[in-house]
Amino acid sequence: MPQSEVYLDNYWKVYLEFVDKCIDVKYKGIPLALMINFYQYLDEQIKTEINSIEFNKYLSTKYIDISKANIQPIFERWLEPLKKDKTYSNGKILLSSANLRFTRNSYKMYFDSKETIMLAPWSIDKYFNISVHNVHEFKADINNTVNVLKAELEDIFNSNSSHILMGNKFFHDKFMKSIYSIVNTIALVDIYLEQTDIACIIIGSTENLINRVLSVVGSQKGIPSICMQHGLIGGEEAFMPMFSSVAAVYGNFEKEWYLERGLKKERISIIGHLKYDDIFTLRYMSKTQFRKKYNIRSNKKIILIATQPFFSAKWNELIIYLSKDNNCEIIIKPHPWELSRRPKRIKEYEKMANEYSNVKVIVEKKVKPYNVISNIDILLTQSSTIGLEAMLFKKHLLLLDNKVKNFYNKLENFNFSSSKKLAKYIIKLNKSKKMQKANAKQYKKFLEYAYPQELAGLKLKKLIAKLIK
């Protein structure tokens, strides 16, 4: 969930202060404090304090006055000295499986199996005909090193025991527990990259330890890396700082977002994501098959409601309003998180489906989303990548209760705070060709700004060629 401006301002201050205090504890030249996914190390007590306007009283003056534009440049003071000029150009492309989210079609279309390697925690030889290397097959003797580094860190924590963060038991214990994994991952990646000719590294996110280490150790060896955008930017903490050579983003929204936080323009490339290429390159279930499978009446407008984990009661109200319109069919597609962790919510949806003949619920876990999206007329959601996918399929997107400033900012006139008003709008939209054409123009204009490509794979190949030439 997106945090408040106060929270984020204080979050970066305490994060930088922590790194600064531990900056000299390094393994193979890499500060260990930079390798943790910091926000995952904060307990509720610390988060509450960080969200307070009084938080500055807990901090030194060194980072009190930092602005949003300083975030990446300050991290670069520690990351830049690790970087080495490009040394590899004839090696292979390394894909890290963690959070990559490429599709079967992506691998077949864009990656030559002779020039590509997949790094994954799997004991298999091939993945879509691409050779798989398991980094855990390598071994490193690090026990003594880990003990020395932990002792150094304990001294720092002890001397800062009154500090709001470093005196926090949860933070201390979790950080100390992670040292072995951090050091081991650095050691194994270092061995792997020494023994394997790699020209470029592609990762899906630097939230994962393996991906963060690949980016940094790769930079030490002169190997460029590309970080794909793994979803809409929601929580800022999951997308900053940028450790890779290049941030491959969806469009101009993210480019502007990174520029505001101090990432240099030349390190941002509008690529898109290869998973969306399937929208333009594959065929999906026919309308006839779709209607038959889900018992959808012919000649009725199909409305898909893509739920989110924290839906408000407004959505139930909306479904009830729409169910009274005999000209539409409503499909509820629960979020995967709800399917696995909120059985009561699923029962609520199923109850509505039993009550109203034009309401359906898709609970199949293995359903192919594009078979559904390609056959609907309107998508309703709060804030999700499925909204982008719907527009790429040239479907109408409408938002309910999207209160955060994000990717969909420029679609403000399609964002409703009232279930009743949204239901009335949908009923009117379904009857008006003029409204439908006007909306289509707005969606097209939005995509020219937010996702200005069809085939991300082609743009990624050009970027790789540019980085390794």
Give residue 22's pLDDT. 97
pLDDT tens digits along 73-100: 999 999 999 999 876 678 999 999 999 9
pLDDT tens digits along 191-213: 999 999 999 999 999 999 999 99
DSSP state of 407: T
Would you call 83 helix, strand, or coil by DSSP? coil
Do strands 30-31 and 26-27 pair parallel, antiparallel, or not at all (unpaired)?
antiparallel
Average pLDDT, integer, range 356-372 = 90
Computed from CA positions of residues 130, 369, 442, 255, in that sequence, does the dihedral angle turn out positive or negative? negative
Contact in structure between 242 and 206 (CB atoms under 8 Å): yes
Give residue 86's pLDDT. 73
Checking if the pLDDT of 404 tops 70, the result is no
The pair of structure tokens assigned to 55 is 């938080």
Give residue 363's pLDDT. 87
Checking if the pLDDT of 137 tops 80, the result is yes
Contact in structure between 197 and 88 (CB atoms under 8 Å): yes
Checking if the pLDDT of 50 tops 80, the result is yes
Contact in structure between 422 and 303 (CB atoms under 8 Å): no
Checking if the pLDDT of 70 tops 60, the result is yes
Nearest to 243 by CA among 9, 76, 464: 76
pLDDT tens digits along 227-280: 999 899 988 899 999 999 999 999 999 999 999 999 999 999 999 999 999 999
Gap between the Cα atoms of 100 and 78, Å rounded: 26
Higher pLDDT, 367 or 388: 388
Q: What confidence category does residue 312 fall into, taking pLDDT thresholds of 50, 70 and 90?
A: low
pLDDT tens digits along 272-309: 999 999 999 999 999 999 999 999 988 899 999 998 87
- Alpha-carbon separation of residue 197 from 51, 118, 193, 215, 257 (angstroms): 46, 13, 7, 15, 34
Give residue 2's pLDDT. 60
Which domains does the chain show, CATH number per domain?
A: 5-272+457-468 (3.40.50), 281-450 (3.40.50.2000)
What percent of the chain is predicted at pLDDT more than 70? 98
Checking if the pLDDT of 342 tops 80, the result is no
Average pLDDT, integer, range 117-146 = 92
Give residue 177's pLDDT. 97
Task: Note if the bond before 241 is cis, omega within 30 degrees.
Answer: yes
Contact in structure between 86 and 224 (CB atoms under 8 Å): yes
pLDDT tens digits along 418-453: 999 999 999 999 999 999 999 999 999 999 999 999
Determine the distance from the C-alpha atom of residue 115 to the mean position of all C-alpha atoms in its chain, rounded to a whole number.
Answer: 27
Give residue 346's pLDDT. 85
Q: What confidence category does residue 28 fall into, taking pLDDT thresholds of 50, 70 and 90?
A: very high
Q: Is 412 exposed, middle or buried (0-12, 13-18, 19+ CB in 10 A)?
A: exposed
Task: Work out the mean pLDDT of the chain and round it to a whole number.
Answer: 93
Give residue 406's pLDDT. 82
Determine the distance from the C-alpha atom of residue 178 to the mean position of all C-alpha atoms in its chain, rounded to a whole number.
Answer: 23
Give residue 187's pLDDT. 97
Checking if the pLDDT of 49 tops 70, the result is yes
